Structure 1
C-alpha cells in the first residue's frame, strides 16, 4: 500500500513537472514567433494591417474632454521600441478598461493589431509623424524587458538649441548642472484670471554653455523644494528636463516645461545623471555657492536688459534705422 502511494506521488509530480516544462517551452516558442513578427516603429505606416509592435511605455497622461474637462477623453502615452524610435499613442476612454492595467510607465508590451494615424498635434513629443491608436480588437500583452533607458531620454545639446537647430513643434530633453535661480513669479492669465507660478533657472553643460529653463506650477514647486533640500550642502545639482519646449524671448532661446507631460529630474538616481556627474568630476568642475545653492538674481527681464544680447539688438535696430534713412535720402 505504501509503495502504491509513493509511486502515485512520483507519477503525479512527474506529470506536473512535465506540464510546467511544456508550458515554458510553449511560451518561449510563442515569444520567438512573436519576435519574428514584430514590426519596428520606424517601419509602421497608416496602410499596415494586422501587425505587432514591441515597446516600452515611457510616459502616460490623461487627456480631458475639451467641452467638459472633468471627463476623460483618452489616455495618451509615449512608446519606445528597442531601436529607440518613439511614437505617441492614444487609448480612447471607451476602450480604456481593457488596457488600463497594462498602460503604465516602464511596462514593456507587445501590442497586436493597433491602428496608425497621422499625428497632427500642435506639439509632438517625438519626431514621429504617426500616432498609434488602441481599438477594441487590439491586444496588449506584457512581455520581457526590451532594454535601454526606462525613461527613453534622448538629450539635445545646448549648442543645437542655442543655434536654433531644434524642431519648432517638437520637444527636447536637456541635462545640465544648476548655477543660479531667478526670483519666483506669480502670473495672472488675463482671460481666465487663473494664477500660475513660475521660476527661471540657469543650467550649464559640460562645455560651460548656458541655458535657461522656465518651470511652471508643479515643476516650479518641485525644483524649489529640491533647492531647499540641498541648501548648505556641497553637491552638484544635476537637472534633467524631459519633453521640454524650446521658446524664444527677445531672440534668446530658453526651454520651458510642456504642461503635465514634461518630466523633471533633480539629482535623480539614473544612469544619465550619474554619467553627467562623473564627467563633471573628471572635468574638475568645483562645487561653489552658486552651483550648490544657486544665486537669487535679478528678474529675467532685468538680466536681459543688462546683457550683451540687449546691446546687440540696440545696435542692430539703430543700424537698420540708419540704413532706411539713407534709402529715403537717395
Structure 2
C-alpha cells in the first residue's frame, strides 16, 4: 500500500475510497486479523482478512484473497461500504509515524438498536451487562454440531435486548460462567463487530461469522469503566444466576420456538 519513502506518498483517506478508484495509498492500523475457512472444508483458508483503521478512525475490511467473496453483505462488517484487496503488485511497509488518537470503537445506543435506527448491514461494537442466559444449546444439523447461547443484556438505563452467541463465542461465555458461578460481580461483555438481526420478530444482537471478538470482564478501559458505574437498576446479572449447563436439542425444536409467517 505504501512506498518505502512515505514522505513522497500522498495517502488516501479511507472515507474517500470508492469503486471508481483503481488503486490507492493508505496509512492504517491493523486492529483485527483472522483466517476464515470454508464451512465444508475447515482446513482450507481462502484468504487472510483484516480490519484496518486510519488516523481519522474510519475502518475498512481488507481481504488478502485467493478467492473473491461471493456474498457482498457478508463482508460489510465495518462503517465503510467497500472492501479493499491486496494483490501481487501491492507494496506494504511498516509505518512508524501512525498517530493513534481516535477511539476505534463504534457503539450504538440501545434505542437505536431496538428501533433499527442505523444501517443494519454495518457491524458495531456492543458493551453490556448480562442479565440472564439460557442453557447453551447443541444443535445438530446434517451431522454437524452448532452451539448457541441466548442471553439478555442491559445498558446503564436498564433497557434490555436479546443476544445470541454462536459457536466458540457461546462456548467461551459458557466456560466463563461455569468457572465463576460463585461470584457476585456483574458480567460485562464487549462484543466487537456485532451484527443486528431480527429473530421471532424482535431485534437480536449476535456475532458475525468472521471478525467478531468477545471480551468478558477483561482488564480493558471500556469494561472497567462500565463496571465501576452504579446503574441504579435492579439487576439479576450475577454469575450465580446465569446458566452454564448444556442441552442437546434438535434443530427443528429451536426453529419451532417462533411462529413461521408466510408473505
TM-score, structure 1 as length reference: 0.64
Match of 2:35 in 1: 62
Name the CA distance, whole Å, in 1 between partners of 2:144 and 2:112. Answer: 35
Structure 1 stretches of 5 or more lacking a match? 1-29, 95-116, 314-330
Name the CA distance, whole Å, in 2 between partners of 1:248 and 1:50. Answer: 37
Larger Rg: 1
CA RMSD after TM alignment: 3.3
The list of structure 1 runs, each at least 4 consecutive aligned residues, that deviate by more than 6 angstroms after superposition, is: none
Whether 1:146 aligns to 2:99 is yes
- Maintained 8 Å contact 2:129/2:237: no
Equivalent in 238, 242, 248 of residue 192 of structure 2 = 242
Per-residue deviation, residues 125-150 of structure 1 (Å, max 9, x unmatched): 01322211111121111123431478
Name the CA distance, whole Å, in 2 between partners of 1:292 and 1:232. Answer: 7
Q: Equivalences for 1:65-144 in 2 at 5 Å? A: 70-93=43-66, 120-144=72-96
Per-residue deviation, residues 275-328 of structure 1 (Å, max 9, x unmatched): 3223x23x4567x6643433449x9x99xx9xxxx9xx9xxxxxxxxxxxxxxx
Q: Equivalences for 1:5-84 in 2 at 5 Å? A: 30-34=5-9, 37-48=10-21, 51-64=24-37, 70-84=43-57
Match of 1:98 in 2: none
Match of 1:173 in 2: 125
- Maintained 8 Å contact 2:75/2:83: no
Q: What SS is found at the alignment partner of 1:142?
A: coil
- Maintained 8 Å contact 2:191/2:215: yes
Name the CA distance, whole Å, in 1 between partners of 2:132 and 2:240. Answer: 7
Q: CA shift at 1:220, angstroms? A: 0.8
Q: Equivalences for 1:125-274 in 2 at 5 Å? A: 125-144=77-96, 145-148=98-101, 152-189=104-141, 192-274=142-224
Per-residue deviation, residues 224-250 of structure 1 (Å, max 9, x unmatched): 111123322232211111222212222
Name the CA distance, whole Å, in 2 between partners of 1:166 and 1:247. Answer: 12
Q: What SS is found at the alignment partner of 2:35?
A: strand
Q: What SS is found at the alignment partner of 1:160?
A: helix
Per-residue deviation, residues 20-76 of structure 1 (Å, max 9, x unmatched): xxxxxxxxxx45544xx2211011233335631111112222234688653322112
In terms of fraction of residues, the more helix-rich structure is 1
- Maintained 8 Å contact 1:199/1:214: yes
TM-score, structure 2 as length reference: 0.79
> How many corresponding residue pairs?
244
Q: CA shift at 1:253, angstroms? A: 1.0
Instruction: Return the structure number with greater relative CO, CA threshold 8 A, min gap 6.
Output: 2
Q: CA shift at 1:176, angstroms? A: 0.7
Structure 2 stretches of 5 or more lacking a match? 248-252
Equivalent in 270, 275, 279 of residue 225 of structure 2 = 275
